[in-house]
Amino acid sequence: MWNWFHKLASPPHFYRIASAFEPWLLWLAIACMLTGAYGGLVLAPADHVQGDGFRIIYVHVPAAFLSMFSYALMAVASGIGLIWRMKLAFSVAAATAPVGAAFTFLALVTGAIWGQPMWGSYWEWDPRLTSELILLFLFLGYIFLRQALAETRQADRASGILALVGVVNLPIIHYSVEWWNSIHQGPSLIKLEAPSITTDMLWPLLAMIIGYQLLFLAILMTSVRTQVLQREQNARWITEQLGTENIHG
């Protein structure tokens, strides 16, 4: 187990694995998202309260889920990098930030579009909405902090600490609808009892969540590879790897 972990942490080894898995992840993501979109937009019936307006959940829910997942991944990678001084972990964290920020922004925009007809307003200072907005600021703060520090090791440490401190916002986002008087809809999938959504609406949503997750991983593979190339640009294996890719390309 530990031998596998240390081997995976090797930039050349990870670069080759990422190159191999990236296209498979992308095609699987497209297949899942097309299946989920067809099920959600065509096969699923209209909601008895929200009508067809509920269908935005097939974009909003996966984006919101990935906004939290990507921040958790960024924080875990930062923690591994700070503890074990692993350069690849910092590469993963740095690559995750812009992708996570994009999904967080998408979650906020789709939430606003859904909120206008349901609440009569595009934005309310609701605990769930506010904490999700703070999550976007944390992503942007991480990105800008890295850009502001020219020395890579210093940027890794400073941004890593910020990522770990910001983790406290994740349980606030998740439990805000239970801790405070929130106008946001309560949990429908992740709860102790059965999901409060019918099967014909549920399976397309699960397909979209899986598709978004695979898309996130495919994009992440590309971003991490770019980070690795930037950090290892003077390494001999980079020249050899790029030469091999040019030959096969």
In a structure prediction context, what are the per-residue pLDDT tens digits for the chain, which is 249 residues long?
556 556 667 888 898 899 999 999 999 999 999 999 999 999 999 988 888 988 999 999 999 999 999 999 999 999 999 999 999 999 999 999 999 999 999 999 999 999 888 888 888 888 889 999 999 999 999 999 999 999 999 999 999 999 999 999 999 988 887 776 666 666 655 554 556 688 999 999 999 999 999 999 999 999 999 999 888 877 777 766 665 665 455
> What's the CA angle centered on 29, arms 98 and 248, to 5 degrees?
85
Task: Measure Cα distances from 6 to 20, 86, 185, 186, 216 in Å.
Answer: 19, 10, 43, 41, 24
Cα distance between residue 219 and residue 47, in whole Å: 33
Ranges of each domain in the chain: 19-248
Which of 64, 139, 51 has its CA nearest to residue 94? 139
247 contact partners, CB below 8 Å, separation of at least 6: none
pTM recorded for the entire structure: 0.91
